Structure 1
Amino acid sequence: MTTSPNSSTAGSPSPVHPVAVRDVALRDGLQLTEGRLSTDSKVELVRTLLRLGVPELEVGSMARPDLVPALADTLEVIGALDEAERDRCWVWVATPGHVRRAADAGVRRFQYCLSVTDEHNTANIGRDTETSMAALPEALEVAAEVDGTVQLCLATTFTCPITGQVDPDRVLELVGDPRGAGTVDVVLADTLGQAHPRQVSDLVSAAQEAAGDRRIVFHGHDTWGMGVANTLAAVGAGATMVDAALGGLGGCPFAPGASGNTATEDVLFALRPDWLNPQRFHELIAAGDRMLAELGEAGRSRASAGAHGNGREFDWTLPQGPRAAVVR
């Protein structure tokens, strides 16, 4: 989805390459919420976001239900979607067995995730990084049997909650590992939200050469308030997809201190893709408000807070309606 100035978006950033915004609220966003979304609500949210123009979504995980209970109904969600909808939805996997089970349920887009550091990979997945990489070719084979596609997602690409700063050369080594050559994208995840724009720009630029013709995806968190700035830095450096979560939900159970993802509302307001206009933005905010109300969560999006505020002369401000709670 390219971005370009128009009567409602003049002055907004205009990347020279197509940029897709993927909403990850239904996977990463739900990992730490105390409340639960019903399966029906998840399916409704998927359809609403796709209808509004969000090009791709992350809708669940094959992680153990006892570890991430909010995502225990992932395959039920997938089963309720039609083929065209599933074709725009990614599911988190970490083993060939995950891919096989998800494929049997109709999943065709698999996000194969591992951590750059052994310590976090062991805490998160139960094995070291090399073991996860060694299993990737089998995961690719299983996906190919159903004509599926696989992303390589690298968590803790900037900092690790256990070992601290991560060596960029180690990240690039994994990006260029020939065992990942069959993946279609490489996701660089700022799991803790501790990166700054220059770091992001440098790593995305360097990763493009190692990734070959694969897309570079940036997955940011807003722990230190750099979520939107880092996202824009990634786009400027060549990332062609960026992740964000409706309402700014998110966090990793195995990364203490990591707060929510960069809010989808904030990223979309900054990037202004061609499909977005004030009316669709208002509908997206309303969908986020409904989700947050069902979860009993406070919203973290600054753009949503702005839209709920005063300034009715501004097209992007909501004309009326109740305001969702906002974390300040």
Structure 2
Amino acid sequence: MTAAVLRDVTLRDGLQLTGKALPVERKVAIVRRLLGLGVPELEIGSMARPDLVPPMANTMELIAALNPEELQRCWVWVATPRHVERAAAAGVRNFQYCLSVSDAHNKANIGRTTEDSVAAMPDAVRLAAAVGGSIQLCLATSFTCPFDGPVDPERVIAIANDPRTAGAGDIVIADTLGQAHPAQVAELISAVRTRTPQRRIVFHGHDTWGMGVANTLAAIQAGATMVDGSLGGLGGCPFAPGASGNTSTEDILFATRPDWFTPSILAALVDESAELLAELGEPNRSRTAEGARSKADAFEWVSQPSAGEYSVNYLP
């Protein structure tokens, strides 16, 4: 299986549904901790309206607190050219331009039709290029829509092949509701790889139906070279009823075993995740984190909690 880069999305998709906002200082500490542990890339925030997604309200302050080297490894969610313009002025160079394949979800999430979002993308691409930035085409609801049900894969292919999206260096295929299954994921990723322009393919999965890791592995085998996860499986979309947390970062790393990932790195991630989730009052959905706290001491990946670690409830 080809290795894939992990992008941790805890600070954007992970925080969207939490009832408690994190202060900027805490977010900065998480960014630096994850980058320091070797996590290759992060998604750190969103330009969405703060009244609609309150946990993202201090994204601009977070961007201002990071240095250019750190920002080179960080992505910010955008949905309009104006978002790109504002984020670029603050120092962002990696933009995830998101739209939904289904009109109903795009209207709920962004307030416009899918066609309107596609039509605006060339301006977003131009603004990103003007600062030497990278832009991704992120396709939410690539498999199912909470309002309209199953999504025709040909709609995904058509958007990916639309000349107005040609400026994207990457394409993100998102299982927003976590309702896809591995064969379905493999088929769509393969179709994107063989029938659309050559781009890095990113898979963004949720674990609502317990298929997060299986779908991620299927995506990698089919050609995805970047995959998204969040600490402890935190996350969900506020405009997608029925969506639960992202696929766990810990679970993805344990399954894929990149060269930089070691038992001591896992132990540090589990500690960081437990502390964060306790702060937020959220359950830990990671099975790897649960396993790392087991009594199977002969297994090198098992570790004990660090001194002062917060208690946290693990989901069965």
TM-score by length of 2: 0.97
Aligned partner of 1:93 in structure 2 is 78
Determine helix, strand or coil for the equivalent of 1:283. helix
Aligned mate of 1:81, from 23, 42, 66: 66
Following the alignment from structure 2 to structure 1, what is the Cα–Cα distance between the partners of residues 260 and 123?
38
Aligned partner of 2:114 in structure 1 is 129
Q: What is the identity percentage for the equivalent residue pairs of Structure 1 and Structure 2? A: 62
Asked if structure 2 preserves the Cα contact closer than 8 Å seen for 1:175 and 1:210, the reply is no
* Larger RCO of the pair (alpha carbons < 8 Å, separation 6+): 1
Determine helix, strand or coil for the equivalent of 2:76. strand
Matched, 1:36 2:21: yes
- Deviation track 1:243-298 (CA, whole Å, cap 9, x = no partner) reads 01111011111110100000000000000000000001111111111211221211
Following the alignment from structure 1 to structure 2, what is the Cα–Cα distance between the partners of residues 130 and 192?
22
Cα offset, 1:82, TM superposition: 0.8
Asked if structure 2 preserves the Cα contact closer than 8 Å seen for 1:312 and 1:319, the reply is no
Task: Provide the aligned length of Structure 1 versus Structure 2.
Answer: 313
Determine helix, strand or coil for the equivalent of 1:26. helix
What CA RMSD, in Å, does the superposition of the two structures yield over aligned residues? 1.0
Aligned partner of 2:314 in structure 1 is 326
Following the alignment from structure 2 to structure 1, what is the Cα–Cα distance between the partners of residues 185 and 267?
30
Determine helix, strand or coil for the equivalent of 2:64. helix
Alignment of 1:235-254 (within 5 A): 235-254=220-239
Aligned partner of 1:20 in structure 2 is 5
Asked if structure 2 preserves the Cα contact closer than 8 Å seen for 1:94 and 1:132, the reply is yes
Determine helix, strand or coil for the equivalent of 1:221. coil
Aligned partner of 1:172 in structure 2 is 157
Matched, 1:58 2:43: yes
Determine helix, strand or coil for the equivalent of 1:64. coil
Report the residue type matching 2:312 in the other structure. A
Aligned mate of 2:171, from 150, 164, 186: 186
Matched, 1:282 2:267: yes
Task: Show structure 1 runs of 5+ residues with no match.
Answer: 1-14
Matched, 1:307 2:295: no
Matched, 1:149 2:134: yes
Asked if structure 1 preserves the Cα contact closer than 8 Å seen for 2:216 and 2:252, the reply is yes
Report the residue type matching 1:212 in the other structure. P
Task: Show structure 2 runs of 5+ residues with no match.
Answer: none
Cα offset, 1:319, TM superposition: 3.2
Cα offset, 1:155, TM superposition: 0.3
Aligned mate of 1:269, from 239, 249, 254: 254
Following the alignment from structure 1 to structure 2, what is the Cα–Cα distance between the partners of residues 211 and 220?
21
Aligned partner of 1:8 in structure 2 is none
Determine helix, strand or coil for the equivalent of 1:173. helix
Following the alignment from structure 2 to structure 1, what is the Cα–Cα distance between the partners of residues 11 and 115?
28
Cα offset, 1:320, TM superposition: 4.3
Asked if structure 2 preserves the Cα contact closer than 8 Å seen for 1:114 and 1:129, the reply is yes
* Bigger mean CA deviation after superposition, 294-303 or 159-168: 294-303
- Deviation track 1:31-73 (CA, whole Å, cap 9, x = no partner) reads 1011222211111111111111111000000000000010100
Following the alignment from structure 2 to structure 1, what is the Cα–Cα distance between the partners of residues 89 and 315?
40
Q: Which runs of 4+ in 1 moved over 3 A?
A: 319-323
Asked if structure 1 preserves the Cα contact closer than 8 Å seen for 2:144 and 2:175, the reply is yes
